[in-house]
Amino acid sequence: MENPLKVIFNLFKRGSESVLGIDIGSSSIKIVQLRKRSGQAILETYGELALGPYTGLEIGRATHLPADKLAEALNDVLRESNTTTKKCGVAIPLPSSLVSLIEMPAAPPSQLSQMIPLEARKYIPVPITEITLDWWVIPSDETKNSPYQAAGAPDAGAPPFMPAAKVDVLVVAIHNEAINKYQDIVRKTAVESSFFEIEVFSTMRAVLVEENATAMIFDLGAGSTKLYIVDRGIVRVSHTINRGSQDITLALSRALNVSVAEAENVKRHFGLSYKREGVNVPQIMSASLNFIFSEANRVLLNFEKRYNKPIGNVVLTGGGVNLKGFYEMAQAAFQVPAIVADPFTKLRSPAFLDPVLKGAGPEFAVAIGVALRRLQEVK
């Protein structure tokens, strides 16, 4: 199947030092291959493949494919992208997980390891036996100390335990069913994944520039929009809005009385500036976005009120933000500066590719974030 991105290249040939970042989204699979040279991450190749055609849907549509179909698609994009390594990390979609901030009595890590699974039951809508749980204590001061790990021992360099009245704990849970599915995909693709990572952390690694800043990450995907508020490198809020870029396509298809494929083509080529006599196309396309922006502003304002701390900026990422006219609409919608993510700037690549990579950046943020973590494991 032809890669819809049409920008796949291979710059280097040292596959033994290379790693892959794999992002299996709802509408497409993205992969990025990197290697390390002189302490820098070097971009070797990248690629994207739409998943809609694998289930009889149009390009751009959200899908729910079984492991064997996803493995088939992953094999296809790896082949078309001329990848040269099997070493990888894989992102897990946010809907297959739970990221929550809970307040706990201060206690040594050994006691918290017993208390947190019991407390987490209040926040997790499935039996605790059906999930894999991890957690970190968030430092209460303004330093960049590492949080305690779920295993009960602090990271290297973490401060000794200091008693306090309450502590904030970041709880992360992944459905075992999701882990099993992605392990099955890895086996059927014959890649070698050293970890599975929830996409929020991959996105943060790829798009955030100032680690100590307070920012909202606005990730507009095909089937949903994910919001993350990050404060000093810690996820304080994660929220999903069940509307995405495919809702714009479907509304356009109904209004213009055209096929979904044609509506998707109009959206990608003309964006919010498209005009047709007798139909207010910009208004139709903006309806879903207005709902998403309204919900995002509610989440933003609730955070500022609860923590008495302003959001510095909104980082726009995900394939949906490439819609023509979207950035201007986002600037008007938010009361804080909005910036488009440019994660390829964290990689070294030929200068002549800068315009192409800048446009592709928001869509490849998760894959880049996964690849950067996997690259850290290379000695």
Domains and CATH numbers, the chain: 15-86+342-376 (3.30.420), 95-174 (3.30.1490.300), 234-333 (3.30.420.40)
| pLDDT for 24 | 96
3 state SS of 338:
strand
> Is residue 216 a contact partner of residue 200, using CB atoms and an 8 Å limit?
no
Q: Rounded to 5 degrees, what are φ and ψ at 359?
A: -70, -35
Token pair for residue 377? 């494991």
To 5 degrees, how large is the angle CA 302–CA 307–CA 312? 80
| pLDDT for 330 | 96
3 state SS of 164:
coil
Closest CA to 295 of 218, 234, 208, 362: 218
DSSP-derived letter for residue 161 is P
Q: Which residues contact 202 (CB under 8 A, 6 or more apart)?
A: 21, 23, 91, 365, 366, 367, 368, 369, 370, 373
Token pair for residue 33? 């291959």
| pLDDT for 321 | 95
Closest CA to 139 of 273, 231, 58, 19: 231
3 state SS of 191:
coil
Give CA–CA dist 172/164, Å, rounded.
23
Give CA–CA dist 324/322, Å, rounded.
6
| pLDDT for 314 | 97
Token pair for residue 186? 């890895």
Give CA–CA dist 63/57, Å, rounded.
8
> Is residue 208 a contact partner of residue 219, using CB atoms and an 8 Å limit?
no
Q: What is the pLDDT along the chain (379 residues), one digit of tens a residue?
A: 444 334 444 444 444 489 999 999 999 999 999 999 888 999 999 999 999 999 999 888 989 999 999 999 999 999 999 999 999 999 999 888 888 888 889 888 888 888 988 888 888 878 888 889 888 888 775 444 433 333 333 344 444 544 457 888 899 999 999 999 999 999 999 899 999 999 999 999 999 988 778 999 999 999 999 999 999 888 999 999 999 999 999 999 999 999 999 999 989 889 888 888 878 888 988 999 999 999 999 999 999 999 999 999 999 999 999 999 999 999 999 989 999 999 999 999 988 889 999 999 999 999 999 999 999 998 7
Token pair for residue 257? 């009385």
| pLDDT for 220 | 97
Question: Where does residue 359 rank: exposed (0-12), middle (13-18), buried (19+ CB within 10 A)?
Answer: middle
| pLDDT for 26 | 92
| pLDDT for 151 | 34
**Intra-chain end-to-end CA distance of the chain, in Å:** 36
| pLDDT for 280 | 87
| pLDDT for 141 | 54
Token pair for residue 127? 């039996």
Residue with the two structure tokens 């196309």 = 281
Q: What does pTM read for this prediction?
A: 0.87
